Structure 1
Amino acid sequence: MTLTVRAPFRSMLALTPRTGVLLLVVFGVVRVALVLQANVTGSYQLVSFVFVAMIVLPWLLLTRDGRRRIGMVGPSRWRWVLPAALAGVASALVVYAAAAVLWGHTVSHPFAYIALSYSNVPSAPSDSDRLVYFIIYAVIGMLFSPIGEEVLYRGLAHESIATRWGDRRAVLTDATAFAVTHLAHFGLVFVAGVWAFLPLPALLWVTAMFLVSLVFYGFRRLTGSLIGAIVAHAGFNLAMNWVIFYLILG
């Protein structure tokens, strides 16, 4: 097992549940703190560094065999890559539709609240500006968080936990951590200079994030690679941004 870890770190690190949970807690706490601060300041640059750190971590800590073990390989079953993207898109549209039925495009809708975090985007952009903003936010949303989060949650943390607890307990653990962390993005909201907690919308959001985590992991298994999870996640973020720019800000 230690051969998966680079020599300088073998005495202090192994792919065990303790390591996996520690990574989820440390990255989760740092991310929540930075996102909550960004909700106030409107500046999310530091949050991007968290995703970059998630991406870099396996290259820093693991050998080539270790990276392969956590899924950093090309897909062995490419036929599942396109379904992964479509499943991600469909998942986002289901979340949008469910929240829209319950709360419309009010601040209780997770995508409507996330739209408020796009502080440099006009509330009613022109058609040409809308396309430009959509492309910018879609590209960013399809790169940083899908790659970083899938490498951490469905990759390094999952495999560390699965070594002793098994895949089922590992996926439930990383999905729970993923869902709870996303409360910083919606659920605990900052509107008009005031913090508030929205219990029912937060419950829907956390449940949705837990379920999409299972979808992402499912496509990691189906493709035999983290590429499946990353593509599904990118599809979710693409659809979410389309909803924001063409339905909510439309």
Structure 2
Amino acid sequence: MSTRPTSTPPEFRRLFASWLRMDVRTGLILLVLFSAVRFGLVMQANVTRSYALVSIVFVVMALTPLLLLTRDGRRRIGMTRPARPSGLIAALMAGALCCGLLIASAGVLFGAGDNNAFVYIAGTYSGLPPAMDEQTRLILFLVFAAIGMSFSPIGEELFYRGLVHESFARRLGEGRAAVVDAGAFALVHLAHFGLVWRATGWTLLPGPAVWWVTGLFVTGLAFSWARRVTGSILGAIVAHATFNLAMTAWIFYRIL
């Protein structure tokens, strides 16, 4: 008696399944498309000090898996409840530790000038009063923290540690796919720091740029670890949100 082979549940919705697969080609298409758009918008925002369009990119990143993938596809990229909820504590600690190490090393290597990534990023915060009392500081910190803990952690983690990671993992394996998504994540952040806008125009800071990309590459690997240790993309989101919370707190209470 012959048995019928079991078919693999479709991962992409029918509308996209004819030209998209969970493979390297799809991963490269998504990386090039989103990285080019985001890099350009962040570069423009560094000049205009208006980051509204960048926030929209993060929203589109978050919506992309929902639009492209079936329920099985979303499960594959980690959009499930954590299999190990206790791992969320480890994810939280990993995000805070990565940020703390970057803050400390930036201070030692680059001092308090705008060759320090966190000082430069603080200068991109728009709409802040020149002087703040403690109540105003707290309110603005909470607003910026809420934004920093939602838009980029959800959008970037669903995209990099979710959709992009799985597109490469089937061919390269989990470890190499983590290297790819962490590398792409780190390089696109050169638009945030490393290639900086000053009064004289655009300037590349070779040493700070290498430090920044290397630090964010390691951070991206930590976010991948957070996903694995929890069994859910939520682990990566929590680690990323904690990183951003620590960075925002440092900027508001130590730099500004």
| TM-score between both structures, scaled by the size of structure 2 | 0.95
Superposition deviation, residue 124 in structure 1: 3.9
Amino acid in the other structure paired with 2:206: P
Tell me the residue number matched to 2:3.
none
Distance 1:183 1:163 in 2: 28
Give CA-to-partner distance per residue, 1:157-202, whole Å, 9 cap, x none. Answer: 1001111111122111111100000000000001225211111111
Larger fraction in helix: 1
Tell me the residue number matched to 2:138.
131
What secondary structure sits across from 1:32 in the alignment? helix
Distance 2:156 2:249 in 1: 21
Distance 2:228 2:59 in 1: 24
- Most deviating of 114-123 and 195-204: 114-123
Tell me the residue number matched to 1:118.
125
Q: Which runs of 5+ in 1 are unaligned?
A: none
What secondary structure sits across from 2:86 in the alignment? helix
What secondary structure sits across from 1:247 in the alignment? helix
Give CA-to-partner distance per residue, 1:42-92, whole Å, 9 cap, x none. Answer: 100000111011111111111001100100011000111012112111211
Instruction: State the structure with more CA Rg.
Output: 2
Aligned residues: 249
Give CA-to-partner distance per residue, 1:10-60, whole Å, 9 cap, x none. Answer: 111111111012111111110000000000001000001110111111111
Tell me the residue number matched to 2:62.
55
> Do the aligned partners of 1:2 and 1:14 also contact (CA within 8 Å) in 2?
no
Tell me the residue number matched to 2:21.
14
> Do the aligned partners of 1:34 and 1:47 also contact (CA within 8 Å) in 2?
yes
Aligned pairs (5 A) from 1:92-103: 92-103=99-110
Distance 2:21 2:35 in 1: 20
Distance 1:91 1:124 in 2: 30
Superposition deviation, residue 98 in structure 1: 0.5
Amino acid in the other structure paired with 1:78: P
C-alpha distance 193-124 of structure 1, shift in aligned 2 (>3 A): farther
What secondary structure sits across from 1:190 in the alignment? strand
Tell me the residue number matched to 1:173.
180
Tell me the residue number matched to 2:215.
208
1:85 has 2:92 as partner: yes
1:159 has 2:166 as partner: yes
What secondary structure sits across from 1:94 in the alignment? helix
Tell me the residue number matched to 2:251.
244
Distance 2:230 2:11 in 1: 22
Amino acid in the other structure paired with 2:201: V
What secondary structure sits across from 2:149 in the alignment? helix
> Alignment RMSD, CA only?
1.1
Distance 1:212 1:46 in 2: 25
Distance 1:97 1:164 in 2: 37
| TM-score between both structures, scaled by the size of structure 1 | 0.97
> Do the aligned partners of 1:2 and 1:10 also contact (CA within 8 Å) in 2?
no
> Do the aligned partners of 1:141 and 1:237 also contact (CA within 8 Å) in 2?
yes
What secondary structure sits across from 1:3 in the alignment? coil
Amino acid in the other structure paired with 1:200: G
What secondary structure sits across from 1:205 in the alignment? helix
Identity among equivalent pairs (%): 54
Distance 2:128 2:102 in 1: 23
What secondary structure sits across from 1:189 in the alignment? strand
Distance 2:20 2:110 in 1: 46
Runs of 4+ in 1 over 6 A off after TM superposition: none
**Corresponding residue to 2:242 among 215, 235, 242:** 235
Distance 1:53 1:2 in 2: 25
Q: Which runs of 5+ in 2 are unaligned?
A: 1-7
